[in-house]
Structure 1
Amino acid sequence: MLIGKKKEKDVEIPSASLSDIVFLLLIFFLVTTSIDTEKGLDLVLPPPGEQQIKIPKKNITNLLINEAGEALLDGKVIEISQISKTIKEKLLANELLIVSVKTDDNTKYDTYVRVLDQLKKADAKRISLAEPEKD
């Protein structure tokens, strides 16, 4: 008796629904993926212009940040962690006080942000960001 071999069927992946599955996966990943946007610093800048306002020197305190990351408040070295306390005291004495922040060209951005955080902590509302001097 002859036993015949059965022909094996070719196994194929059905491609009719493949495009639907790919499309649904694409939609799923687009919906579930969150994209973080860089917000940067929240600063309110004055409108551009050549306006120069005369301010009495008693209403300005200078805060310099040198290349080494040291902060100098009115020419005296101060720890960055002490800026908040000192500025609060100065603001109590003079509500119209403007803090002028000036940095060196090579000051690290991290140090600059730490100083701005201390000013925010002191609730200083009038801050002037001065441009670094060009060599």
Structure 2
Amino acid sequence: MFTNIRKKKETSGIPTASLPDIVFLLLIFFLVTTTIDMDKGIRLTLPDRGGEVKIRSENICNILINAQGLVMVDEEPVEIPLLRDTIEEKVKARGYDASNAPILIVSIKPDKETAYNTYIEVLDQVKLAGATKISIAEPEG
């Protein structure tokens, strides 16, 4: 007479039994397909190690950059947009060697607190001016 009637419990929600499998597969997918770009930095060609070469002081153009972004070319203040013209004049004044490379050596010396952006702007202007011999001096301090 008594019948055993079981009521089925209604399950509410989403079944999560396979969720860890799906998460693991997504993790593997993104690990395999993601590429990591390494910062390549600035490409500079460094000279071979060798003996010191004597350079006449009149063939060196010193560029100093202070922490506030002020640029001094041979102890004269120059605005960054005018730097290219200034260096071009100095390159033409010094002349070229037998291999048609400028004799002028540009030495850039930034302050330790110089903004990286300012340093790159100065370096770009010097390269655009046609200077091929560029020395980067280590900041003092």
Which bin holds the TM-score, normalised by the shorter protein? 0.7 to 0.9
The TM-score with structure 1 as length reference comes to: 0.75
Question: Which segment drifts farther, 20-29 or 63-72?
Answer: 20-29
Hey, what does 2:36 align to over in structure 1?
A: 35
Shift of residue 116, structure 1, vs aligned partner = 1.1
Hey, what does 2:105 align to over in structure 1?
A: 98
CA distance in 1, matches of 2:6, 2:65: 86
Deviations 1:95-121 (A, max 9, x none): 211101112233222221221121222
The TM-score with structure 2 as length reference comes to: 0.73
Count of residues in Structure 1 that have an aligned counterpart in Structure 2: 132
The one-letter code sitting in structure 2 at the alignment partner of 1:114 is E
Structure 2, unaligned stretches of length 5 or more? 96-101
Hey, what does 2:47 align to over in structure 1?
A: 46
CA distance in 2, matches of 1:124, 1:31: 45
* Identical-pair percentage: 51
Q: Secondary structure at the match of 2:92?
A: helix
CA distance in 2, matches of 1:83, 1:57: 20
CA distance in 2, matches of 1:115, 1:14: 59
Structure 1, unaligned stretches of length 5 or more? none
CA distance in 1, matches of 2:72, 2:118: 13
